[in-house]
Amino acid sequence: MASQAYHMVLSVGNHILQRGMVSFRKKRMKRTTAFLIVATLVAPGPAQESADKAREKLIGKWAGYAVNGKGEKPNEGPVKIDLTITKDLIKATGYKGKAPMDLGQGTFDLKLDKTPFHLDGDKKLDNPNRKEIWLGIYRLDGDTLKWCVRKKSRPTEFETKDGAFLLILKRQDK
């Protein structure tokens, strides 16, 4: 990221210099100004650092259930779920009985400027040009992750209704 930012700064600086004939001193001042502007734009700010920390808190193995209702019975549900979350991916396995089912994997995106926080996933499909988007909200309370997702519209509360799935998961390890 830093290397990309450096090259972007040089590119912008060179573009500014090529726009007109200016003295060496003015060129240096313009290049420095361009560097500072671009460096400020690409440097991770507090929001990005906060998203990175939130992402780190999710990394690990999680086990639980797709539950009914508002999760009144968090230790039972129609499908047992295992999630493995890395920095960039979520991989899901479901169990009906003891037989594992690969539920797929995909990338995810966090938005911390909303309440509740948003956790959106995109499931990779067999066709590399397509993916399945799941819009969700999440809450992390210690070692318990509540994640409510739906395909076409984001749930507004942690409840299984209108096609939403509510997952209640416990951290297994990091």
List pLDDT tens digits, range 5-42.
333 433 444 444 344 444 444 555 444 444 434 333 44
Which 8-state DSSP code applies to residue 33?
A: H
Among the listed residues 172, 171, 170, 174, the one whose alpha carbon sits nearest the alpha carbon of residue 74: 170
Q: Which two tokens stand for residue 111?
A: 């938005």
pLDDT value of position 9: 37
List pLDDT tens digits, range 37-71.
433 344 344 455 688 899 999 999 999 999 999 99
Confidence of residue 124 (pLDDT cuts 50, 70, 90): confident
HSE-up (13 A, CA, CB side) for residue 143: 10
What average pLDDT score do residues 75-88 get? 94
